[in-house]
Structure 1
Amino acid sequence: MTYAQLLAKVAQWMSRDDLTARIPDFIELTEERLNRHLRVRQMETAMPATALTDGLITPASDVIDAKVLWATGYETTPLAAQSLESVISSGSYGPPSMYAWEGSSLRVDGVGSVQGVLYVRIPALSTASTNWLSEQAPSLYLFGALFEAAQYVGDDPSLWQERFDQALSDLQGNDQRRPGPLVARPR
Structure 2
Amino acid sequence: MAISTYSELQAAISDWMARSDVSGSAADFITLGEARLNRLLEVVATTASLTGVSSSNVVSIASLSMVEPVSLYVTSDGTEKFIPPSALGTFFEQDTPNIPSNWAIEGTSIRFDCPLDIPYPIRFTYQGRFALSDAAPTNEFLTNNPDLYLAASIVWGCTYTKDGAISMWKSMLDEFVSEVRSINAQKKRSQLRTDPMLQRRGYNYATDVTS
**1:13 and 2:16 aligned:** yes
Computed over aligned residues only, the root mean square deviation of the Cα atoms, in angstroms, reads: 2.5
13, 35, 41: which one aligns with 1:38: 41
Distance in 2 of aligned mates of 1:125 and 1:162? 26
- 1:122 is displaced (CA, Å) by 2.4
Report if the CA contact (8 A) 1:27-1:144 is conserved: yes
> What residue number does 2:177 align with?
168
Give the conservation status (yes or no) of the 8 Å contact 1:11–1:20. Answer: yes
Quote the Cα distance in structure 2 between the aligned partners of 1:10 and 1:182.
Answer: 45
Q: What is the CA distance between 1:9 and its match in structure 2?
A: 1.1
Q: Paired residues, what number?
A: 111
Structure 2 alignment gaps of length 5 or more: 46-64, 68-126, 197-211
Per-residue Cα deviation, 1:104-136 (whole angstroms, up to 9, x for no partner):
xxxxxxxxxxxxxxx841242443111111111
Query: What is the aligned counterpart of 2:132 among 121, 124, 128?
Result: 124
SS of equivalent residue, structure 1 residue 166:
helix
Secondary structure (helix, strand or coil) at the match of 1:177 reads helix
Letter of the 1:167 counterpart: F
Counterpart of 1:142 in structure 2: which amino acid?
Answer: L
Aligned identity (percent) is 32
Deviation at 1:161, TM superposition (A): 0.9
Contact persistence 2:31–2:131 (CA under 8 A): no
- Of 140, 147, 150, 2:155 maps to 147
Q: TM-score, normalised by structure 2?
A: 0.47
Larger Cα-atom Rg = 2
SS in 2 for 1:128: coil
Q: Which runs of 5+ in 1 are unaligned?
A: 44-60, 64-118
